[in-house]
Amino acid sequence: MPEKAMSYNDRRCFHNLIYLVDSGDTHAAEWPTGKLQDELSLHSGPDSSYDEPWSSRSRCLRFQNSTERYCVYTSTTFAGGRGISVFTTPERAAQIARLPAFTDPEVLHGVNHEPNPPYEARTLPGRGIGLIANRTLHRGDHIFSNTPVLLVQESISEDFFLKDHGPFHAEAVERLPERSRAAFMNLCGHFGGDPVQDIINTNSFEVVMFDDEDDVPFNMVVSEISRLNHACRPNAHYVFDNTTLTHRVHALRTIQPGEELTISYIDPVLPRAVRLESLKHSWGFKCSCKHCRLPDDEAAISDARIARIQNLTEELKNYESTARASPESAVELVDLYEEERLWAPIAEAYTLAALEWNGDGNVGTARVFAKAAVESGLLYGGRADDDVREMERLVEDPTTHWSWGLRGRTRIKGDIPE
């Protein structure tokens, strides 16, 4: 599941001088000690990545004596004129430009389009604007799909000072089409300071854009997702497709008309105190969802279940000869997820149960759990999720899967396929 991006206020970096370079205005950034560089160098030469589908490319940001630079690339025609700005390297911008999202307009058919939405927006006491279901939704039902208006390579805010990378974010937003720019600026911020930075800090999610060795994370802003309030036991979930750049929201369980649609902004498999601190720290609010408002005795019971879930998960992932895991502990894990109403991450419990029963040589039960893992995994991680693919292979032929009979063999953890 995609995670909340770290607040820029949490970043600590101490690096050499930064260049802001372009064929136009050139600026020198200060050293951490306050010393200014006397001489500047300009970027020159053709930029092959500043081409279709990009409408414009900004000046670029880089360290002294470094060839790697980061630029803002904007397409005002992306997704039928919705537009997108990407702050990344020229090489990554070229990769993004080759995605089906840009090369095959048909993959975005129906995206960013809500002719008959299954919800309506209402003002909710103490919660701002929320989305309320206007008809019954069933598990897996589509709620809405949108493309991001901003993608920022996460390493930029980790490696550079805010005063240096901040102007590029402002430029990225300014270059968006008017409607998308207005929607972005209409988002709420919780931390204060520069409005654009505050909106990014409050509303961005971390996503992995490329399934390669680098595994480069980006911070993504989808204006519409802010309409969904947080709940620690949500009734909806989202999946990001990194080939179509589409953020899809769907129901996790049956939702009745009049219910508020909610998602979890954080990993929900955490005790109450940790959830409250995480939400306050990263999102700037104190959670008041139903699960966080449980009486202390009930919250303690819930926290005990979470602790047991964490212990069982660790046991079931241990394939050393001394491991204590068993098929019974796998069933207990699934039961605990159900008792906690963790309808999105329950996919992991089903996966571990399928592996454990297959490791015990029980084909029938292993297949039952593997099928459940695929169904829930499609909602939790999407079609490209590694666990979904693994469970599909197990369903196809349990006896040739690497987990078959595993518990009956002496095998160290390092031998287990990733």
SS3 for 57-88 is: EEEEEEECCCCCCEEEEEECCHHHHCCEEEEE
**Which pLDDT belongs to residue 213?**
65
Is the Cβ–Cβ distance between 149 and 222 less than 8 Å?
A: yes
- Which tokens hold the place of 340? 């906690």
Q: Is the model's pLDDT at 156 over the cut of 60?
A: yes
- Which tokens hold the place of 183? 């929607």
- What is the distance between the alpha carbons of residues 368 and 136, in angstroms, rounded to a whole number? 28
- Which tokens hold the place of 98? 């080759």
Average pLDDT over residues 30-51: 35
Rg, the chain, Cα only: 24
Q: How confident is the model at residue 50 (pLDDT cuts 50, 70, 90)?
A: low
Question: What pTM value is reported for the model?
Answer: 0.81
- For residues 128 and 1, which has the higher predicted lDDT (pLDDT)? 128
- What is the distance between the alpha carbons of residues 379 and 367, in angstroms, rounded to a whole number? 19
Is the Cβ–Cβ distance between 176 and 55 less than 8 Å?
A: no
Is the Cβ–Cβ distance between 58 and 43 less than 8 Å?
A: no
H-assigned helices in 204-326: 272-283, 296-316
Q: Is the model's pLDDT at 18 over the cut of 70?
A: no
Q: Looking at 134-143, 252-261, 312-321, which range is the least confident one?
A: 312-321
- What is the distance between the alpha carbons of residues 339 and 95, in angstroms, rounded to a whole number? 43
Q: Which residues pair with 217 in a beta bridge?
A: 208
Residue that has been written with the tokens 């854009």 in this structure:
209
Q: Is the model's pLDDT at 36 over the cut of 80?
A: no
Cα torsion angle, 304, 305, 306, 311, sign: positive
Q: Among 3, 128, 148, which residue's Cα sits nearest to residue 88?
A: 148
SS3 content of the chain, % helix, strand, coil (to 5): 40, 20, 45
CATH fold of the domain at 113-143+230-289: Beta-clip-like (2.170.270)
Q: Per-domain residue ranges for the chain?
A: 47-110+147-223, 113-143+230-289, 296-415
- What is the distance between the alpha carbons of residues 344 and 249, in angstroms, rounded to a whole number? 12
Q: Is the model's pLDDT at 32 over the cut of 50?
A: no
CB neighbours of residue 25 within 10 Å: 8
Q: How confident is the model at residue 212 (pLDDT cuts 50, 70, 90)?
A: low
CA distances from 61 to 27, 74, 275 (A): 10, 16, 36
**Interhelix angle for 296-316 vs 346-359, to 10°?**
40
CB neighbours of residue 127 within 10 Å: 15
- What share of the chain in percent tops pLDDT 70? 85
Residue that has been written with the tokens 């590029």 in this structure:
168
Instruction: Read off the amino acid at residue 162.
Output: L
Q: Among 417, 395, 121, 141, which residue's Cα sits nearest to residue 252?
A: 141
Instruction: Read off the amino acid at residue 285.
Output: F
Q: Is the model's pLDDT at 65 over the cut of 80?
A: no
The SS3 call for residue 145 is strand
Q: Among 392, 333, 335, 323, which residue's Cα sits nearest to residue 360?
A: 323
- What is the distance between the alpha carbons of residues 152 and 84, in angstroms, rounded to a whole number? 11
Q: Is the model's pLDDT at 149 over the cut of 50?
A: yes
Phi, psi of 76, rounded to the nearest 5 degrees? -85, -10
Q: Among 220, 80, 50, which residue's Cα sits nearest to residue 150?
A: 220
- What is the distance between the alpha carbons of residues 178 and 143, in angstroms, rounded to a whole number? 25
Paired sense of beta strands 27-28 and 262-263, if any: unpaired
**Which pLDDT belongs to residue 409?**
66
- Which tokens hold the place of 295? 């009486």
Q: Looking at 44-53, 102-111, 242-251, 339-348, which range is the least confident one?
A: 44-53
Over residues 19-30, the pLDDT tens digits come to 444 443 333 333
- What is the distance between the alpha carbons of residues 335 and 85, in angstroms, rounded to a whole number? 44
- Which tokens hold the place of 79? 């997704």
Q: Is the model's pLDDT at 14 over the cut of 60?
A: no
Is the Cβ–Cβ distance between 225 and 265 less than 8 Å?
A: no
- Which tokens hold the place of 283? 């999102």
Instruction: Read off the amino acid at residue 349.
Output: A
Average pLDDT over residues 306-324: 92
- Which tokens hold the place of 271? 């005790």
Q: Looking at 197-201, 257-261, 371-375, which range is the least confident one?
A: 197-201
Cα torsion angle, 200, 201, 207, 212, sign: positive
